[in-house]
Amino acid sequence: MKLNIRKLSNYAIIFLTYIFVLEPLWMLLPFAGFLYGSVLNLDFLYNSYYTIWLTYFILPPLQTSLPAAFPIALFLTFAGFGIFMTGAIQIYTAKLKKSGLVTSGLYKRFRHPQYTGLIIFGLGFILLWGRFITYILFTLMIFAYIQLARREEKKCLKAFGSVYEKYVSNSIFLFPGFGSFNRMINFSRRVILNHYLRATAWFFLIHGLVIILCLSILYLRATFIENIEVVKSSIKINDAIEKDFMFLVPNQHPMIQDLVLSIGNSNKVKMLIKQANADEIDGVIGFVIPRALKEKKEYYQRGRVDVYLLMVNSQLNLENTTLEEYVKQLKFPAAAQLNEVNLLKASGGSDIVKGSVELIVPENEDKHKFNRKMDAFFHAYVYAYGRSRENKWMKFIHDMENKIN
C-alpha cells in the first residue's frame, strides 16, 4: 500500500508540474489561440462565479504591465531551467557510470538542485503569467517537491550512512535559510505526532496563507481601480431614453474616443439594450475583448475588433462619478458581445458593428447568480489587463493609422 501511495504521489507531482508549466506556455507560442482554446481550454472556469476567480491575474503579465521587470522574470525562467538540466545531467551521468553519491558541481552546495531549479523556473513563470490558479499550482508544486526531497534523503541515508550525514551537514536543502523552516517543522513534530496529519496541517496552512496573500493583493488592486482610464459617453435610445456609457481604455487616443462614440450611436447596440429591457438598465460598461489584440483572425487585420458590453444598473450618475465609486454600486441585468466592430470606420456615418451581436441574459440561473458571474467577469478583465495592454493597443492603432494613410 505504501508503495502505491508513493507511486501515486510521484505521478501527481509530474502532473502538477506539467499543468503549471503548460498553462502559461501556450500563451508564449505563435499558435496560442488554437492551443489555448482546444488543448488547454480554461473557458469552463468562466461559467461560474465560484471558479472564475481562478482566472484572475494576481499581478498583470509583466511583458505588458511592467516591461522593465520582464527581463528579470525571463532570466529566472531560463536560469531555473538551466539549473534543472545541469542537475539532471549530473545525476544520470553518475547513474550510467555507477559512481555512487553525487557531491560535486551543483550538488556540492545543494542537495536537490533539480528541485531548486524547477522552483526558480516556476517563480519566473508566475511573474510572466500569474493567474490565481498558477499561484496555487506553484505552491502545490513546492509542497510536493519538499515531500519528495525528504523521501529521497531517507533513501540516501540508508544507502550511504555516515557519508551522507556529513554531506547533509555541509550542504543546503533547497535554498539558503531553509533551516528556519526546518525548526518550525521540528516544532510541529512535537505538537502533531502523526506524519500524515502533520503533512495535511502544513498543506492547508501554506495554501491558506498563499490564498489570503493573493486575495489581499487583488483587494488592493481593486482599491486602485480608478487608475484605469475611461472614456465617458452616452447611448441615446430615443428622444426620451438615454443611457450612460463608460468604455475602459488604455489612454485617450482620438481613434479610441471615436470608437466609443460610434458604438454609442450603433443601432445594433440600441436594439440590444431594448431587448434586454431598457427600464432595468441605466448604464453600459464596454471594453475590447483582449484576444482581439493578440490573435491573428483575418478581420482583426482589417481593423475590426470584438467588444464586450456589460449592461448595468447603478444609482449613481456616471458624469460625476469615478470608476471606483461606480462599480461598487453595480448590478448586471444583461451583457452583450459585438463582433467585428470596425475601428477604421469609427468616425464614419454607417453602423460601426459589422458582424453578429449576442445578447447575454440570465436564462436557467437566477438573477443574483448571473449578477455575481458578470461582476466576476468584469473584475477578471480588470485584473488581467486594465491599462496593461497599452503597448499592444497603441501598436494596433498605429497599424490602423498606417492603413488609413
Q: What pLDDT is attached to residue 86?
A: 93
Q: Which helix (H) or strand (E) holds 285?
A: strand 283-288
Q: Which of 200, 223, 246 is the last residue of a domain?
A: 223
Q: What pLDDT is attached to residue 224?
A: 63
Whether 149 has a pLDDT exceeding 70, the answer reads: yes
Radius of gyration of the chain (CA): 26
What is the grid cell recorded at 40?
488547454
Q: What is the pLDDT of residues 55-67, one digit of tens each?
A: 777 876 665 556 6
Same domain, residue pair 201 and 338: no
Same domain, residue pair 355 and 262: yes
Whether 39 has a pLDDT exceeding 50, the answer reads: no
Q: Which helix (H) or strand (E) holds 366?
A: none
What would the DSSP string read from start to end of 122-175? HHHHHHHS-BHHHHHHHHHHHHHHHHHHHHHHHHHHHHHTHHHHHHHHTSBSSS
- Domain CATH for 137: 1.20.120
Same domain, residue pair 277 and 201: no
Q: Which of the four pLDDT bands, split at 50, 70 and 90, describes residue 101?
A: confident
Whether 82 has a pLDDT exceeding 90, the answer reads: yes
Whether 236 has a pLDDT exceeding 50, the answer reads: yes
Q: Which of 223, 247, 270 is the last residue of a domain?
A: 223
Average pLDDT value for residue range 399-404: 66
In this prediction the pTM is 0.68
Q: Which of the four pLDDT bands, split at 50, 70 and 90, describes residue 244?
A: confident
126: Cβ contacts below 8 Å, ≥ 6 apart: 58, 134, 135, 138
Same domain, residue pair 127 and 184: yes
Same domain, residue pair 279 and 372: yes
Three-state SS at 46: helix
Same domain, residue pair 263 and 330: yes
Same domain, residue pair 242 and 391: yes
For the chain, what is the mean pLDDT? 76
Lowest mean per-residue pLDDT among 245-259, 310-324, 328-342, 386-400: 386-400
Same domain, residue pair 268 and 162: no
Structural domain range at position 356? 230-404
Average pLDDT value for residue range 234-240: 82
Whether 14 has a pLDDT exceeding 70, the answer reads: no
What is the grid cell recorded at 194?
502523526
Give me the number of domains the chain comprises: 2
How do beta strands 304-313 and 283-288 pair? antiparallel
Cα(395)–Cα(251) distance, rounded to whole angstroms? Answer: 13
Q: What pLDDT is attached to residue 393?
A: 63
Q: Which of 223, 245, 266 is the last residue of a domain?
A: 223
Q: Which is more confident, 46 or 171?
A: 171
Same domain, residue pair 16 and 149: yes
Q: What is the pLDDT of residues 335-371, one digit of tens each?
A: 898 888 887 776 666 788 888 888 888 876 677 788 8
Three-state SS at 183: helix
What is the grid cell recorded at 155?
533513501
Q: What pLDDT is attached to residue 4?
A: 57
What is the grid cell recorded at 285?
460598461
Same domain, residue pair 103 and 161: yes
Same domain, residue pair 242 and 387: yes
Same domain, residue pair 201 and 310: no
